Amino acid sequence: MNSTYAQTTRWEPSPGHKQIPLWPSTPPGTKPKPDSETVTLYTKKPVGGRPWSYISNVSRPTLTVYPPKGENTGAAIMVFPGGGYQILAIDLEGTEICDWLTSKGITCVLLKYRVPRGGPSHQDDCDCRINPKPAPAVQDAQRAMGIIRLHAAEWKINPNKVGVIGFSAGGHLVAAISNDWRKRLYTPIDAADRQDARPDFAISLYPGHLWEYEAKDPLGFNPDLHVTAKTPPTFMLHAQNDSVDNPNHTLSYYAQLRRAGVPVELHIFAEGGHAFGLRRTKYPITEWPALVEKWMRTIGVI
Identify the CATH number of the domain in which residue 236 sits. Answer: 3.40.50.1820
Task: Render each residue's pLDDT in the chain as its tens digit; 302 residues.
Answer: 344 666 778 899 999 999 999 999 999 998 877 889 999 999 999 999 999 999 999 999 999 999 999 999 999 999 999 999 999 999 999 999 999 999 999 999 999 999 999 999 988 888 899 999 999 999 999 999 999 999 999 999 999 999 999 999 999 999 999 999 999 999 999 999 999 999 999 999 999 999 987 777 889 999 999 999 999 999 999 999 999 999 999 999 999 999 999 999 999 999 999 999 999 999 999 999 999 999 999 999 99
Q: How far apart, in whole angstroms, are the C-alpha atoms of residue 164 and residue 109?
A: 9
CA separation for the pair 1, 251 (Å, rounded)? 42
Q: How many CA atoms lie within 13 A of 24 on its CB side?
A: 8
pTM of the model: 0.96
Query: 152 and 75 in contact (C-beta within 8 Å)?
Result: no
What is the domain extent for residue 219?
A: 5-298
SS3 68: coil
Q: Are 139 and 29 in contact (CB under 8 A)?
A: yes
Total domains, the chain: 1
